[in-house]
Amino acid sequence: MAKGTWTVIGAFTGLAAAALVAVAVAAEKPADIRKNVDDPTSPAWCGQCHKRIYKEWSSSMMGRDLDNAIVYQFYTATNPKGKFDGLGFKGFVRMAGHPQARGDCADCHVPIQVIESHKAGKGDVDLGKAMRLETRKDHGISCIFCHSIEKVHLKKGPDGRWNKRIFERVELNTEVIHGPYPPAETSPHDPFKVSPLYRSSEICGVCHLNQEKHVLSISTYADWKALYDAGKTDKTCQECHMPLIPGKARAAEDAPEREGLRRHTFVGARDADMRKKALRLELKGHVENGRLIVDTVVENVGAAHTVPASAPIRNVILKIDATDENGQPLPWAGGKKGLLPPLAGMGNPKTGQKGPGDWAGLPGKMYAKVYRSKVIPKLGRPMVGVGGFAAVAEVFNTLLRYKKPDHAQFAFKVPDGVKRVKVKARLVYRWAYKPLADRKGWKVPDLPMTEKEIALNVTP
């Protein structure tokens, strides 16, 4: 159909046309098993009674994990168009000569499927296959997984490495629902088990701790535990990430009102309030000998683990803009240390053309834990900013530790005749390094955290 004709029909038939398209698409797309209310292991089944909780979980990153295109593409090493680009787990194992390897990627993304597959002697699960709608067999980070956990074993071996696999870390009993308190009489759950695990961070540590061969690529639980054991925080993961519902609420439609219930929203770095709470920013400046000296302090005051919370492709950037009274940028007069590294964005990988988010070489500081791979024969050098599976060493680690202020200094030249200067400092969160995102075709917006501005008169 010609485009013009379509527009006219669309204009006249409006909703009816939209409905037809929707039906056609629905018929092609297999149903999402997580929405099957007849399957007593599906979140939607629990959601019939636990309506609020189901809605909260569905909106969370963990509830949406199986639909997360970034996870899928980083596992399968494909781009958004579905073409193999080598960037990701499957590219790494292909290069290492084991193209069929599935690795442990599925462990924390489809935990029940992995545990059952290993119990049946079938070995590792292909995360790509487990995520695709047509081959999906598991509900991901589901109600039934978390509420079947009977025991957690998180242990460090004599070599200083944590036990690794999901089936070593949890014991499940899917016949029994487990929860934080004894349920009301209206509860259909019989048997039911009250367990202190649900109020403890260990249950989160099952996955928020990724031991790779050479590095602890996700260390959130270990970082938190060190602070907790030292008495530097008394808060659990749940107390910060499952917000308390003020007043009374119900855990199910047919349940009594209770106080002290928490939301299953698992708010994290994608939540503006969480980002605002995390960091304190101090900004000072003075002019001496024709130079503007800017001093910053960035302190993690809100997150009882590092910021960012250690997933290796995440980064927080402090960007410093110093301008004269006409908005002209002041020339840089500091050393290389005060400039942002290539991972802050180098521009279009083919044309080199820079966009507004390409900050490499501009004044600022990156807070991240950056890994490098082995030397890649084709490139003749290692890749920098890789995921934990490809990491052999740390390039730098500037993660912001809890209550450990980070001081930085930046210097600019103040040209003759300039009477007033302005400095803007901002902290933004990026969930992947910009060069990786550019090569993958991912859109990684700058998520604002905190900012400060000052203005100074230049006295001759």
Closest CA to 41 of 104, 108, 110, 128: 110
Closest CA to 402 of 283, 300, 281: 300
Pattern 380-419, binding to ligand HEC, x per CB under 6 A? Answer: ---------x------------------------------
Task: Please pick, from the candidates 130, 274, 370, 427, the single residue that binds ligand HEC as defined by CB under 6 A.
Answer: 274
Task: Please pick, from the candidates 207, 340, 421, 427, the single residue that binds ligand HEC as defined by CB under 6 A.
Answer: 207
Q: Which two tokens stand for residue 74?
A: 């980083």
Q: Which stretch binds ligand HEC (CB under 6 A): 266-274, 317-325, 366-374, 418-426?
A: 266-274
Task: Please pick, from the candidates 115, 125, 216, 252, the single residue that binds ligand HEC as defined by CB under 6 A.
Answer: 252
Query: Is residue 440 involved in binding ligand HEC (CB under 6 A)?
Result: no
Closest CA to 299 of 406, 374, 445, 372: 406
Query: Is residue 262 involved in binding ligand HEC (CB under 6 A)?
Result: yes
Query: Is residue 292 involved in binding ligand HEC (CB under 6 A)?
Result: no
For the bound state, the minimum distance from the C-beta of residue 192 to ligand HEC, rounded and expressed in Å, comes to 7
Pattern 69-88, binding to ligand HEC, x per CB under 6 A? Answer: -xx--xx-------------
Query: Is residue 237 involved in binding ligand HEC (CB under 6 A)?
Result: yes
The whole-angstrom distance between residue 443's C-alpha and the CA centroid of its chain comes to 14
User: Which C-beta is closer to ligand HEC: that of 242 or that of 320?
Assistant: 242
Q: Which two tokens stand for residue 301?
A: 């005051």
Task: Please pick, from the candidates 87, 115, 177, 320, the single residue that binds ligand HEC as defined by CB under 6 A.
Answer: 177
Between CA 23 and CA 19 the distance in angstroms is: 6
User: Which C-beta is closer to ligand HEC: that of 264 or that of 292?
Assistant: 264
Q: Which stretch binds ligand HEC (CB under 6 A): 25-33, 251-259, 283-291, 451-459?
A: 251-259
Query: Which residue bears the tokens 């004709």?
Result: 5
Query: Is residue 265 involved in binding ligand HEC (CB under 6 A)?
Result: no
Closest CA to 112 of 42, 214, 36: 42
- In sign, the C-alpha dihedral spanning 143, 147, 148, 153 is positive
Pattern 88-127, binding to ligand HEC, x per CB under 6 A? Answer: -x-------------xxx-xxx-x----------------
Q: Which two tokens stand for residue 309?
A: 């919370």
Query: Is residue 144 involved in binding ligand HEC (CB under 6 A)?
Result: yes
Q: Which stretch binds ligand HEC (CB under 6 A): 116-124, 284-292, 296-304, 354-362?
A: 296-304
Task: Please pick, from the candidates 114, 130, 141, 408, the single residue that binds ligand HEC as defined by CB under 6 A.
Answer: 141
For the bound state, the minimum distance from the C-beta of residue 355 to ligand HEC, rounded and expressed in Å, comes to 20
User: Which C-beta is closer to ligand HEC: that of 202 or that of 358?
Assistant: 202
Site residues for ligand HEC, 10-49, by CB under 6 A, read 43, 45-49
For the bound state, the minimum distance from the C-beta of residue 80 to ligand HEC, rounded and expressed in Å, comes to 13
Query: Is residue 430 involved in binding ligand HEC (CB under 6 A)?
Result: no
Task: Please pick, from the candidates 34, 102, 139, 147, the single residue that binds ligand HEC as defined by CB under 6 A.
Answer: 147
Query: Is residue 345 involved in binding ligand HEC (CB under 6 A)?
Result: no
- In sign, the C-alpha dihedral spanning 118, 157, 101, 91 is positive
Site residues for ligand HEC, 179-198, by CB under 6 A, read 179-184, 186-189, 198
Between CA 218 and CA 209 the distance in angstroms is: 5
Residue type, 134: E
Query: Is residue 278 involved in binding ligand HEC (CB under 6 A)?
Result: yes
Q: Confirm if 100 and 106 have CB atoms less than 8 A apart.
A: no
**Total residues at the site for ligand HEC (CB under 6 A)?**
92
Between CA 157 and CA 216 the distance in angstroms is: 13
User: Which C-beta is closer to ligand HEC: that of 267 or that of 320?
Assistant: 267
280: Cβ–Cβ under 8 A, 6 or more apart, which residues?
297, 298, 299, 301, 450
Q: CA triplet 208, 59, 22: central angle to 5 degrees?
A: 130
Q: Which stretch binds ligand HEC (CB under 6 A): 10-18, 65-73, 128-136, 291-299?
A: 65-73
Residue type, 182: P
Query: Is residue 368 involved in binding ligand HEC (CB under 6 A)?
Result: no
- In sign, the C-alpha dihedral spanning 216, 219, 223, 228 is negative
Between CA 37 and CA 48 the distance in angstroms is: 8
355: Cβ–Cβ under 8 A, 6 or more apart, which residues?
345, 347, 348
Distances in Å between the alpha carbon of 70 and those of 65, 66, 318, 432? 9, 10, 25, 10
Query: Is residue 219 involved in binding ligand HEC (CB under 6 A)?
Result: no
Q: Confirm if 267 and 189 have CB atoms less than 8 A apart.
A: no
Task: Please pick, from the candidates 101, 152, 154, 255, the single residue that binds ligand HEC as defined by CB under 6 A.
Answer: 255
Residue type, 392: V
Task: Please pick, from the candidates 224, 359, 367, 410, the single residue that binds ligand HEC as defined by CB under 6 A.
Answer: 224
Between CA 295 and CA 454 the distance in angstroms is: 12
